[in-house]
Amino acid sequence: MSTSAKVAVTEADQYRLPTNVKATHYDVTIKTDLEKLTFEGIVKVNLDIQTETSSIVLNTSELELGKASLYSDALKAEQEPTGSSFDKSQERTTYQLSANLPAGSKAELKIAFGGKLTGNMMGYYKSSWEHEGKTKYYALTQFEPTAARRAFPCWDEPLLKATFKVTMISRADTVNLSNMPALSEEPIQHGTNTPADLAEILASTQNEKWKITKFDTTPPMSSYIVAFANGHFDFLETSVKMPLSGKTIPLRIYTTSDVIHQAQYALDVKAAVLPLYEKIFDVEYPLPKLDTLVANDFDAGAMENWGLITGRTSVFLLDPKRTDQKAKKRVMSVQSHEVAHMWFGNITTMEWWNYLYLNEGFATLMGEVIVPGKSSSRLQVYPEWKVNSEFITDHLNGALRLDAKPSSHPIEVDCPDANHINQIFDALSYSKAASVLRMLSNYVGEEKFLKGVSLYLKKKLFANSVTHDLWEGISTATGVNITQLMENWITKIGFPVLTVTEDAKGITVRQDRFFEMGAAEPKDNETIWNVPLSLLSTKDGKSSVDTTAILEEREKHIALDTSKPFKLNAGTVGVYRVLYTPERLALIAAEAAKENSPFSLDDRIGLVHDVMALSKAGLAKVSSALTLVDLWKGEKEYLVWQGIGDNLSGLISVWWEHPEVVDKLNAFRRTLFVPLVNKLGYEYSESESRDTSLLRTLAVGQAADAQDEGVIKELQSRYKGYMAGDESKIPADLQRVIFVTAVRHGGREEYEAMIMVHDKPKSPSEKISAIAAMGATQDVKLMEHMLDFMTNKTKDQDMFYFFGGLGGNFKGRRLLTKYFKEQYDVLYKRFEGNFSLHYMVTYSTEYYSTMKDCEETEAFFKDKDTSKYNQALAQTLDTIRARSAYVERATDDIVDWLKRV
């Protein structure tokens, strides 16, 4: 271990709880009062005393702590602490004891506590919904990463696993949920079933109807996946027979009565994938049930609480009468992702948050690619979805975009305190980690990869793990030294660009770190990655891929017949970019455009993203990227067109304050997408393929954004018909673009109609579409109204949708920045501790493309405490610098090329 590493460990220790005692079991009793919006309870914790001690330190935050006492088996006596102290910055309470607890003994700590059910979406909090014209509340938990301590006193670190037994006290007409099934539930009868130690808690229930629900004990688990909820919930249910255990597992999905009819699809997905995970991992699902609770107020997308998954409405609900393809994919991906966590994260848990990727990278790869790509007797739609191909744009390219910034971080990243922990739930911990694991799976073979994963899980059942544990499992299954192969991919920042040059005997491949701003300086270019080359070559008219080829040095020569088509990173499975000579790129592009090309769909998707990213970095010309796009006008696959559309939209967003460039780029966009609209029309058919539906939606959206008059008129006509009562005029997949177009080219009437949709949406997708439409208005007064609406009338969970909507509106960008700066203190206080905070920092500034704006942004934050979002801020500033350099470098090239089209 290096000296610097030793220093880091020492610094990290101050953020970790002392190890003088170990919590082994919690008995948590919690009373929820949805009328007073309060909770109170008692926690009893069984402790193993590891070293002799006269103090106990544990996590608490935002709790009112009551009486505490400790019984020691060794001392045969109960004692009350002689004193206590609270460290707000570390969120710790320390109890001082009068008598030392001997090492090797056992004790029970009992603490009374209480708190308020706030709407901050952390800890144990309230969520609201409208029922019969009245606002009603329910309560649920969100503990990851460090908020279990807001619900009850605990040792709130992932390594400190224990068993949990939850008892809930609630009003009799509500539903109680927790990780495990209820063992009993009965009305509270004072004097009959009221334990003495709960007398104080139960005193206020004497003249009302209350009940007590006792849940079964959990397996050993980390505090961040403990969950409970109380409210007026309805449910749908089914069950599955598991392939290993043969057990029948009941599955339910809970939500409020007004939207329960939209929860069936998420339940079906859960039933389809749960048995597949057990079969693939060869590890039994250990709990007796798996519920999902859909919440109206939720900070993240969803949460993998063991046995009780939770999440926001937009990731779990679908209107069965009006389902759009993107919403359907979102529900499938999220539900499958969260079920993957029942193994990755819950059975086997990272030792500390720097190994978060072991949870999230795996859940992303398994939940969104490998398992959905398998056939299932319960649900046969997934293989058609081309999930492996979609991954390239949805995850790989997004990860490379973020990782190309100087302010990126390694997948395995040091994060000692809560401020750091909250910030690493990003595209690197999720998407880059999944991409690296996907690359490894392709290199060693998926079957061996999954065998290694199974060995890893079995060795760490109900335990904690680090990176080496995973590499050990896959090494055993493959016979390959995975630690040596993968170390730099996990522990080093960035990724390589492979430069390919040719001679008479073959090709020379060189690796250098890729930056979005240009070539890396020597000091930033020291890492040598082990790069699986996935080399596609052609011989006798047949192509083959060498998956064993690997670059383990700065550069090497490979013998190859370059007169025949070839390509590195076949299938776009590698976590890198490839830079060819302009001549070779033109040959590959021309070959890829042919009907029977050796280059696959996945190759074409990757090529689009690579040429655009390389041009942004100044390693290639933008004109060469645009030439490739122009050459592929005959492309038939939606996913290639999606890559083209995303990148052209990105170019326009960079040059947003250069109208002469925007107008010409839009004209080019129209030549690409309007013919597709003319070919595909506006009507959707049940019998058409998913790709056809998605391509139509993309083409219409791109043509409308590119200001095509014919498409705009058609969408406005459909909007008018819809408002007149004909819902069929707006297919579900075109709802967003029609709403946006109506407001963008309309006035106050259309804008106010979207407010009405927002207030009473028929589905989560409809609400999000209405928010996007509100943000598209071109009227400054309506924008100002929207900002006021954001401040006073929107749910906290929806705020980043509003920021995203207005940030995508060129006329609204500077107004949004002004609002953010003026309201900074209010917004900071409102969202402090939430994941939403860093989104608002990013969404309110990342779209600028001048150094003047970069300097003004830096100046604004100079005197702010940025510790909760410093990573997002650094990435945003890097983005602005890169965009500014792009404009400076490439404007003439773009203008010249567009003149020739």
Residues sharing a CB contact under 8 Å with residue 291, sequence separation 6 or more, in sequence order:
177, 235, 251, 252, 253, 254, 307, 308, 309
pLDDT tens figures, 292-315: 999 999 999 999 999 999 999 999
Q: What is the C-alpha to C-alpha distance for residues 808 and 810, in angstroms, rounded to an integer?
A: 6
Structure tokens at 688: 């058409």
Q: Which residues pair with 142 in a beta bridge?
A: 123
Amino acid in position 407: S
What pLDDT, on a 0 to 100 scale, did the predictor assign at position 316?
Answer: 97
pLDDT of residue 499 exceeding 60: yes
Q: Which residues pair with 40 in a beta bridge?
A: 31, 114
pLDDT band at 375 (very low <50, low <70, confident <90, very high): low
Alpha carbons within 13 angstroms on the beta-carbon side of residue 667 total: 12
Phi, psi of 69 (to 5 degrees): -150, 160
Per-chain mean pLDDT for the chain: 94
Which residue reads 């990731």 in tokens? 315
Structure tokens at 10: 């020492």
pLDDT of residue 596 exceeding 70: yes
Short-list 79, 115, 730, 189, CA closest to 740: 730
pLDDT tens figures, 13-68: 678 999 999 999 999 999 999 999 999 999 999 999 999 999 999 999 999 999 99
pLDDT of residue 376 exceeding 50: no
Q: What is the C-alpha to C-alpha distance for residues 178 and 167, in angstroms, rounded to an integer?
A: 9
Amino acid in position 514: F
pLDDT band at 836 (very low <50, low <70, confident <90, very high): confident
Is residue 338 part of the annotated active site? The answer reads yes
% of residues, the chain, pLDDT over 90: 88
Provide mean pLDDT across the span 799-805: 94
pLDDT tens figures, 80-110: 999 999 999 999 999 999 999 999 999 999 9
Helix/strand/coil (H, E, C) string of 78-143? EECCCEEEEECCCCEEEEEEEEEECCCCEEEEEEEEEEECCCCCCEEEEEEEEECCEEEEEEEEEC
Which residues of 427-575 form beta strands (DSSP E)?
463-465, 496-503, 506-513, 531-532, 535-539, 542-546, 550-551, 555-559
Long-range contacts formed by 484-490: CB under 8 A, 24+ apart: 484/530, 485/440, 485/443, 485/530, 486/436, 486/440, 486/530, 488/527, 488/528, 488/529, 488/530, 489/411, 489/436, 489/439, 489/529, 489/530, 489/575, 490/357, 490/410, 490/411, 490/412, 490/436
Strand, coil or helix: what is 851?
helix
Residues sharing a CB contact under 8 Å with residue 1, sequence separation 6 or more, in sequence order:
none
Strand, coil or helix: what is 530?
coil
313 close to 259: Cβ distance less than 8 angstroms: yes
In the sheet that holds 77-79, the strands lie side by side as 77-79, 64-72, 106-116, 38-49, 21-33, 163-171, 210-215, 182-187
pLDDT tens figures, 408-442: 999 999 888 776 888 888 899 999 999 999 999 99
Residues sharing a CB contact under 8 Å with residue 187, sequence separation 6 or more, in sequence order:
172, 209, 210, 211
Alpha-carbon distance values, 629 to 291, 654, 776 (Å): 46, 18, 28
What pLDDT, on a 0 to 100 scale, did the predictor assign at position 1?
Answer: 28
pLDDT tens figures, 702-740: 999 999 999 999 999 999 999 999 999 999 999 999 999
- Other CB atoms within a 10 A radius of the CB of residue 31 amount to 23
Q: What is the C-alpha to C-alpha distance for residues 486 and 437, in angstroms, rounded to an integer?
A: 9
- From the candidates 278, 338, 635, 714, give the one annotated as an active-site residue: 338
What's the CA angle centered on 437, arms 433 and 438, to 5 degrees? 115
User: Strand 106-116 relative to strand 38-49: parallel, antiparallel, unpaired?
Assistant: antiparallel
Phi, psi of 78 (to 5 degrees): -100, 135
What pLDDT, on a 0 to 100 scale, did the predictor assign at position 253?
Answer: 98
% of residues, the chain, pLDDT over 70: 97
Residues sharing a CB contact under 8 Å with residue 888, sequence separation 6 or more, in sequence order:
none
pLDDT tens figures, 520-563: 999 999 999 999 999 999 988 899 999 999 999 999 999 999 99
Phi, psi of 853 (to 5 degrees): -70, -35
